[in-house]
Chains A and B, each alone.
Chain A
Amino acid sequence: MKKMLITIVTATLAVAGAARAESAAAEVGKPAPGFTLTSTEGKEHSLADFKGKFVALEWTNYDCPFVKKHYGADNMQALQREFTEKGVVWLSINSSAPGKQGHFTPEVWKKRMAEWKVAATAVLLDPDGKVGRAYDAKTTPHMFIVNPEGVLIYAGGIDDKPSANPADIPGAKNYVRAALEQALAGKPVETPTTKPYGCSVKY
């Protein structure tokens, strides 16, 4: 009897836990899930620290060919420079688990970031994948934009050409640039959700 009761309680807790995770999941138009992560510089950054600013979140894995497409062509860094100059906070997040592709020591991160002249505000490490799962980050890259009130206003791909070929960049519509330009001009984001494309996040 006691064992059965424990089973029921455990099952109830499991269901409640699942429901809580679901209600906290990232959804455009709702508050973005909060987080605190450590950067490659060893500094803690919380989403809440940036209230009052637009925040771009970029899920990344420097060894993924789709990420290499955008960094090799200076496309991602150009976006980082353009919008951090306009006051946007740009956080790259890596959710690769230890031992998986794209998981590096802070020293390797710094070297790789210098090689590519990465211009993000910070690169944050999420080795247990908790933040990635909270945002339902599926691919690298997978892009999100949070407005100054902390509401998620964009989730999806970087552009409309799902390929790993850098030759496709010039002809692509960059959803992140469009969304940030619209949001900074005080307009609603025209295309708030798109399908992200790339490598799977290496949880």
Chain B
Amino acid sequence: MSQGYTISELMACVFAREIKDGELGGCPGVRSEVPLASVRLAQRMHAPNTTCYYGAIVYNTDAPLSKFATEYDRIIGAEASVATYEWFDTLHRGDIDFFFVGGMQVDMYGNLNLVCLGDWKKPTLRGPGSAGLNTVTFARRHFIWINEHTSRVFVPKVDFISCPGYLDGPGAREGAGLRWGGPSIVVSPLAVMDFDQETKRMRLRSVHPGVTVDEVKQNTGFELIIPDSVPQTPAPSEEELRVLRTEVDPAGILRNEEPVG
């Protein structure tokens, strides 16, 4: 393909296609360049009535895509600033349709860890903390984005559950008092995963162009459910790439890496 897209652009397209028109969504305040791009792409492609909260807290902001966005960046160009207080109430009530979330580790049931590696009492690596992550689970569904697909990140069991996925299987969320929600998809640099309805285990949904099923299996630290036939993740369309590059990301933040396709 002459125009060569990057993994970040592909991930933004995959997420954008998951967003339905009129939904209320949310992106975390840190390292949200892919989530923000995907929402803005969806708003321009098929979901003009979607509103997305961002950071702590504004919505529908024109803030530049950036790994590091300060409160200043977020407020400038936003449709509204939102009292942090009200935002949590909205989220807890279950009024947010989708939320993006990442982590240092993810396991076969979609549980996420952003707190620490090793024993919590004396961790080998201290992460940013639980933050709003477990509140995210009160969105109707959440999207997991992971920037490194290796068996260090895709582990059998996370060291600390900071954002509950399906915990340890069918019925576990309900047992813990979580009455709705859960992860719907996981997008990594290699593949798209979803969750098997019956077992609640992570299942391979598609592999990105140029990636094999074996490659995904070898880089995943637990047994993925592999359907008999695994399709390829649809590459970004010309229209998606045009909108991404001319309207959503003219500065080329998502292109600041080696193209893959």
Pairing of A with B: no
